[in-house]
């Protein structure tokens, strides 16, 4: 019997279990709790492709990948998209690209406003951002950064990567009017900031190992089917309480009285487990012959993901050795992180945004003035230049990694499109039906087009961009369109839009789980920093309740 059963030993599950077993600042093994993690995949500790970050390419489609396909994306080119999630101890941290990006304080403040709970504001989360990280530079603002957390941070410059295009690209961004920031992770990321990664000396840090699971019972290779619920009468109303967990093979694990089950199975599988437990929309449950235990219509709704789109550019002078494939990139320092220097986080123009929102939501001028996406300014899109090429096959391009081309990406950050994750069947082995519904709103299309045009300006209009690249490498059948009409940009984004691997929102708090963890909106960031901090705060909340 257990005090805590944690379903899913991924990023959040590992951090939470570790902190419950050994609270922050405590001596080893002081926990009085019996804690269990149930993880569907294997222990990833000694896997040959998990230590060196760039080897994660070999994990896509492997046994460690749940390897999802979405439903056809009707607002893109009508085709399904591949969505990856890791099946193994450590979850997303086994494969992710290591971007350690905290995002914009305004998003967290918006969460706090929506859920009426200041613990989820930027200031409320700050303690946990600091607690999880170990910044490499002791001269940065100690009010914003942690120096003793389990997760080591690094940057291209701190790891000794000296990319030949670093200064030219910086100057190109500046010539578009953007300002350089010394620290992109201080809650105000707008501008040009150096990339921060969570690689330690060029090695991946997997959450389950970096935090450590001493004092936690870990069962791997076990697929959870459902949370077992009992009916308890409290006062005049019947309450459902978790009493344990049932696995697909029929094994059960039970809670001690007063114990808790935590469902941290990621954005795709958390709603599946809740639905298989009879927690969800009765009509949806009826379809699969599942008895409704708790009516919660929003389980699996509110799904959103960041869409990313890549573009490719022919180098004017490849012999300068500017991109992966040229000999310079064989320097061992260069495998210590991703082939880029800068992330540029920007708002889009408020006027166009108001028009787009009005088309989607039909708001009056007064409402639009107060609209959270307009007020801010919010960080609407992230842009970057990479000194490598990959992902071209999505748009039918075969691009050898031979040092002759570079790429750019744009990632619209605060999508208003919403999709869903629903049941395919009552069998836990069947993957859920995943519909991110990318690019469904005019607001999302407007933001993406603005990002697209900014990248075109950077590469084709700035003196530095014009000096670096000769032309864009365009997919067959798509001409180079100097006018850059909305239609022409949409056509490219509809074939090129793919997941940035940031699924979220399917157990949206306040609607799906209890009041302490209500977080229903997207963030202008990459999600692991937030997941680490949320799990850190969850541990504090649970430990307070169990004192
Ligand atoms: C390819 C890729 C690149 C990424 N790059 C970045 C990046 O550069 N920066 C960034 O900030 N974020 C990045 N992310 C996102 C980030 O890694 C995730 O947001 C984060 O890991 C999510 O944590 P989680 O705990 O919610 O889910 P996960 O870490 O996915 O954990 C869920 C766990 O639950 C387990 N599970 C699921 N169903 C069951 C079941 N029925 N029974 C038992 N166990 C189950 C899974 O196997 C998994 O281990 C990336 C993600 C991917 C996939």
pLDDT tens per residue across span 509-535 = 556 655 455 334 566 778 899 899 999
C-alpha 357 to ligand 1 mean position (Å):
31
- Distance between alpha carbon 403 and the CA centroid of its chain, in Å? 29
The yes-or-no verdict on residue 248 having pLDDT over 80 is: yes
Interstrand relation of 2-7 and 252-263 (parallel, antiparallel or unpaired): parallel
pLDDT at site 156: 96
Ligand 1 pocket, residue 328 CB under 6 Å: no
Q: Please, which pLDDT band fits residue 28 given cuts at 50, 70 and 90?
A: low
C-alpha 91 to ligand 1 mean position (Å):
4
Q: What is the mean pLDDT of residues 404-420?
A: 97
Q: What is the mean pLDDT of residues 465-490?
A: 90
Length of the chain equals 547
- What is the helix (H) or strand (E) element at residue 13, kind and residue range? helix 11-21
Residue to substitute in 13, 64, 81, 96 for testing ligand 1 pocket (most ligand atoms within 8 angstroms of CB)? 96
- Distance between alpha carbon 517 and the CA centroid of its chain, in Å? 18
Query: Alpha-carbon distance 357 to 367, whole Å?
Result: 10
Say if CB 347 and CB 377 are below 8 A apart.
Answer: yes
Minimum-distance ligand 1 atom for the alpha carbon of 535: 25
Query: Alpha-carbon distance 218 to 209, whole Å?
Result: 13
Collect all residues with Cβ–Cβ distance below 8 Å to 68 and sequence separation of at least 6. Answer: 82, 83, 84, 85, 268, 431, 434
Query: Alpha-carbon distance 87 to 401, whole Å?
Result: 29
- Give pLDDT tens digits for 136-190: 999 999 999 999 999 999 999 999 999 999 999 999 999 999 999 999 999 999 9
pTM of the model: 0.94
Backbone torsion region of residue 433, taken as left when φ is above 0, otherwise alpha when ψ lies between -120 and 50, otherwise beta: beta
The yes-or-no verdict on residue 234 having pLDDT over 50 is: yes
Q: Which two tokens stand for residue 485?
A: 């009409």
pLDDT at site 29: 60
Handedness of CA 538, 544, 546, 547 (dihedral sign): positive
User: Is ipTM > 0.95 here?
Assistant: yes
Q: What is the mean pLDDT of residues 259-272?
A: 95
Residue 405: which of 338, 344, 474 has the closest Cα? 474
Query: Alpha-carbon distance 345 to 188, whole Å?
Result: 9
Q: How far is CA 478 from CA 392, 404, 433, 475, 495, in A?
A: 14, 21, 32, 6, 11
Minimum-distance ligand 1 atom for the alpha carbon of 531: 23
């Amino acid at each position: 019997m257990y005090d805590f059963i944690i379903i899913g030993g991924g990023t959040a599950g590992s951090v939470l279990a570790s902190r419950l077993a050994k609270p922050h600042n405590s001596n080893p093994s002081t926990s009085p709790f019996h804690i269990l993690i149930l993880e569907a995949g294997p222990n990833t500790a000694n896997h040959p492709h998990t230590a060196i970050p760039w080897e994660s390419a070999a994990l896509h489609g492997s046994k460690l990948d749940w390897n999802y396909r979405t439903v056809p994306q009707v607002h893109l080119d009508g085709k399904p998209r591949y969505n990856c999630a890791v099946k193994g101890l450590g979850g997303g941290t086994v494969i992710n690209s290591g971007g350690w990006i905290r995002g914009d304080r305004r998003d967290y403040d918006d969460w706090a406003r929506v859920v009426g709970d200041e613990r989820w504001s930027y200031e409320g989360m700050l303690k946990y951002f600091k607690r999880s990280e170990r910044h490499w530079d002791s001269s940065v603002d100690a009010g914003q950064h942690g120096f003793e957390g389990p997760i080591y941070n690094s940057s291209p410059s701190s790891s000794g990567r000296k990319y030949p295009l670093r200064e030219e690209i910086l100057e190109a961004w500046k010539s578009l009017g953007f300002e350089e920031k010394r620290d992109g992770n201080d809650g105000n990321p707008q501008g040009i900031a150096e990339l921060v990664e969570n690689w330690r000396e060029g090695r991946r840090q997997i959450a389950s190992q970096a935090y450590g699971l001493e004092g936690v019972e870990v069962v791997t290779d076990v697929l959870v089917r459902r949370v077992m619920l009992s009916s308890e009468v409290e006062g005049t109303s019947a309450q459902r309480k978790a009493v344990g967990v049932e696995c697909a093979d029929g094994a059960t694990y039970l809670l001690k009285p007063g114990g808790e089950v935590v469902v941290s199975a990621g954005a795709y599988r958390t709603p599946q487990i809740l639905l298989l437990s009879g927690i969800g929309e009765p009509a949806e449950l009826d379809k699969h012959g599942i008895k409704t235990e708790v009516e919660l219509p929003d389980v699996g709704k509110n799904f959103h993901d960041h869409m990313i789109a890549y573009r490719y550019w022919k180098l004017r002078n490849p012999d300068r050795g500017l991109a992966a494939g040229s000999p310079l990139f064989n320097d061992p320092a260069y495998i210590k992180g991703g082939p880029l220097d800068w992330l540029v986080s920007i708002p889009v123009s408020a006027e166009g945004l108001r028009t787009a929102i009005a088309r989607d939501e039909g708001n009056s001028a007064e409402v639009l003035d107060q609209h959270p996406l307009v007020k801010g300014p919010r960080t609407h899109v992230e842009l970057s230049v990479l000194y490598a090429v990959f992902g071209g096959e999505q748009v039918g391009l075969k691009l050898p990694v031979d040092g002759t081309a570079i790429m750019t990406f744009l990632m619209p950050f605060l999508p208003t499109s919403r999709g869903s994750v629903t049941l395919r069947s009552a069998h836990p082995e069947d993957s859920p039906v995943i519909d991110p519904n990318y690019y469904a709103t005019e607001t999302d299309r407007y933001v993406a087009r603005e990002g697209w045009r900014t990248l075109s300006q950077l590469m084709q209009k700035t003196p530095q961009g014009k000096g670096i690249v000769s032309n864009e490498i365009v997919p067959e059948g798509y001409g180079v369109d100097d006018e850059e009409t909305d239609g022409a940009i949409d056509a490219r984004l509809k074939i090129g839009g793919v997941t940035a691997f940031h699924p979220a929102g399917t157990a949206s708090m306040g609607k799906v789980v209890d009041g302490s963890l209500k977080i229903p909106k997207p963030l202008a960031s990459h999600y692991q920093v937030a997941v680490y901090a949320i799990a850190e705060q969850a541990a504090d909340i649970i430990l307070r309740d169990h004192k």
